[in-house]
Amino acid sequence: MNVVSFLRPSIKETSPEEVRRLLQEGQEIALLDVREEAPFASGHPLFAVNLPLGRIEERVVALLPRRTVPIIVYDNGEGRLIRAVTLLRQLGYTDVSTLEGDLQGWKNSGGEIFIDVNVPSKAFGELVEHVRNTPSLPAEELKARLDRGDDLVILDARRFSEYNTMSIPQGRSVPGGELALRVRDIAPSPTTTVVVNCAGRTRSIIGTQSLVNAGIPNPVFALRNGTIGWTLAGFALDHGADQREICLTPGNEQKARSHAVDLAVRTGVRTITPEELLRFENDPSRSLYKLDVRSPEEYQTEHLAGFHHAPGGQLVQATDEWVGVRHGTLVLTDTDGVRARMAGHWLRQLGWQEVYVLDDWFDLPRETGPEPHRLVAPLSDVPTLSADDLAVELKTETPPLVLDLATSPVFRKGHIPEAFFILPADLVHNERVVTAGAIVLTSPDGHVAHLVAPHLQNINRNVRVLKGGTRAWEKTGRSLQAGLSDAEELSAPVDVYKRPYEGTDNARVAMQAYLDWEFGLIAQLERDGTHGFNVLK
């Protein structure tokens, strides 16, 4: 008898109908797709969260903070379910089941299938434009205004790194969560036209509607279809731009706060005290997400202990990257009273019932620096070696097999020249790994390598971790090798979905297909019936 078929009956199953009921009734639920991101993007339920099998230990504690939350796991017949359920149970999650019939069962039950990633937010953006008639300009009109020298500013609502890669000429980087706070200083004259852009549609729409909701007097427009629309119109993009938002003045900050408070009240965002937050933290029935929505620089300078960094615009655009439990409790914070409320007023419209803002930082513990790793369990004590030791061993007659567990984009940017790319989920099944002599695991900072090493030790006792990871190798002055050749692949690089709206090498047909897909999302929402979105009128 096949091992999988023997074990499968012992695992509880949850029907697609039950999943839809939980979603519609507003109960906490985590629907996990344990495939890699590219297969996930090819089709999944609306509120499925992508948590690949090989990344569970790395990411699960942030996505699923409550160990008793109902978790439903599925794939598309790839055989990852048993391993995923077993691992989640070993990590202390007590209510884990599989989706009856897997992805095909969802389809057979009449469940809607959505492609791409961060789909709830993108579908919501289309609904916002439909309901609110969010004003927009086509690329041709914006180009004509620029050529005439009209009084306008172009605000790029994406992350700075995306803006720096490619941007509209004369554009300024103002990530979406910063727009309502800073626009009055960027465009102090009420006659200055404000144009908000992203790469595609969602952040342009949400950013523009944020400014409309926030009551700025200026004419405001979204750049229709973002940098994709600009490119399809035949216009050139800038590369390497570095204009950022300007300083904030107290008077404009107060105006922004007044409007943000009003929007929070209108949409049901509530203010929470430190004492109430403590009660939430001690509530075993509540999946609690504590999120700091400020800029990366502000977060690293100082933040509240235990708060994750989730810049407000990105949090609205890609909520599922931070929040793995639909209908969990979200507590947002900032230092100005604007950004948390602006993000919160969108999250409420996105169907999140429990959204709070923490203003009072008095006497709460603080931290500095980048966000630390959130460990689901203490790191195992595994053998390590230094970069110098590895360099010596690689020159011997029987060098170790070096396996890099970085994501494929990071591997392409730079890896130890002798390293091979492999997905963590493939380690224990890859023939070359199973039959290897000595193995050295690395990852960007060594953290993921430490997490994965104990699984590999079950089939090969001679497993070590490069201390400090690939960064430690680079710090010794040794070079890294760029690219990812076929000879370096022990796994297909399907861990990252190629987004048609990012990068500079996308085919025009792919960009147009992406836009066409976004236009159809409202009809999909109506067929799906689980979204719970409620756009502010």
Same domain assignment for residues 8 and 106: yes
Does residue 494 belong to any structural domain of this protein? Answer: no
- pLDDT the model gives residue 377: 80
Write the CATH number for 128.
3.40.250.10
CA separation for the pair 437, 439 (Å, rounded)? 7
Same domain assignment for residues 112 and 182: no
CA separation for the pair 32, 451 (Å, rounded)? 20
- pLDDT the model gives residue 376: 82
Same domain assignment for residues 262 and 363: yes
- Using alpha carbons only, give the angle 106, 530, 25 rounded to the nearest 5 degrees: 110
Position of tokens 């089709």?
Answer: 43
Same domain assignment for residues 334 and 396: no
CA separation for the pair 526, 537 (Å, rounded)? 19
What does DSSP say about strands 463-466 and 439-442: parallel, antiparallel, or unpaired? parallel
Q: Which pLDDT tens digits describe the chain residue by residue (537 residues)?
A: 233 333 444 789 999 999 999 999 999 999 999 999 999 999 999 999 999 999 999 999 999 999 999 999 999 999 999 999 999 999 999 999 999 999 999 999 999 999 999 999 999 999 999 999 999 999 999 999 999 999 999 999 999 999 999 999 999 999 999 999 999 999 999 999 999 999 999 999 999 999 999 999 999 999 999 999 999 999 999 999 999 978 899 999 999 999 999 999 999 999 999 999 999 999 999 999 999 999 999 999 999 999 999 999 999 999 999 999 999 999 999 999 999 999 999 999 999 999 999 999 999 999 999 998 888 888 888 999 999 999 999 999 999 999 999 999 999 999 999 999 999 999 999 999 999 999 999 999 999 999 999 989 888 889 999 999 999 999 999 999 999 999 999 999 999 998 887 766 667 888 898 888 899 999 999 999 999 999 999
Same domain assignment for residues 105 and 134: no
CA separation for the pair 421, 296 (Å, rounded)? 29
CA separation for the pair 135, 141 (Å, rounded)? 13
Does residue 467 belong to any structural domain of this protein? Answer: yes
- pLDDT the model gives residue 3: 36
Same domain assignment for residues 148 and 90: no
Q: How many CB atoms lie within 10 A of CB 27?
A: 11
Does residue 525 belong to any structural domain of this protein? Answer: no
Does residue 514 belong to any structural domain of this protein? Answer: no
Does residue 221 belong to any structural domain of this protein? Answer: yes
- pLDDT the model gives residue 7: 44
Q: Which contacts qualify for 374-377: CB closer than 8 Å, 24 or more apart?
A: 374/61, 374/62, 374/308, 375/61, 376/57, 376/60, 376/61, 376/91, 376/92, 377/57, 377/91
Domain of 389? 384-484
- The radius of gyration of the chain from alpha carbons, rounded to an integer in Å, stands at 24
Which positions ≥6 away from 83 have C-beta within 8 Å? 53, 425
Does residue 511 belong to any structural domain of this protein? Answer: no
Count Cβ atoms within 10 A of the Cβ of residue 516 and give its class: 0-12 exposed, 13-18 middle, 19 or more buried: exposed
CA separation for the pair 87, 96 (Å, rounded)? 10
- Using alpha carbons only, give the angle 509, 515, 127 rounded to the nearest 5 degrees: 170
Same domain assignment for residues 55 and 21: yes
Asked if residue 402 lies in contact with residue 419, where contact means CB atoms within 8 angstroms, the answer is yes
Same domain assignment for residues 362 and 392: no
Does residue 262 belong to any structural domain of this protein? Answer: yes
Same domain assignment for residues 360 and 403: no
Same domain assignment for residues 208 and 295: no
Domain boundary among 451, 467, 484: 484
Domain boundary among 302, 334, 367: 367
- pLDDT the model gives residue 303: 98
Same domain assignment for residues 130 and 235: yes
Q: pTM for this structure?
A: 0.94
What does DSSP say about strands 193-197 and 152-156: parallel, antiparallel, or unpaired? parallel
Same domain assignment for residues 134 and 225: yes
Q: How many CB atoms lie within 10 A of CB 219?
A: 16
Q: Structural domain tally of the chain?
A: 4
The SS3 assignment for 434 reads helix
Does residue 431 belong to any structural domain of this protein? Answer: yes
Domain boundary among 65, 89, 117: 117
Asked if residue 495 lies in contact with residue 34, where contact means CB atoms within 8 angstroms, the answer is no
Asked if residue 350 lies in contact with residue 121, where contact means CB atoms within 8 angstroms, the answer is yes
Distance of CA 205 to the CA centre of its chain: 19
CA separation for the pair 512, 232 (Å, rounded)? 8
- pLDDT the model gives residue 398: 95
- pLDDT the model gives residue 378: 83
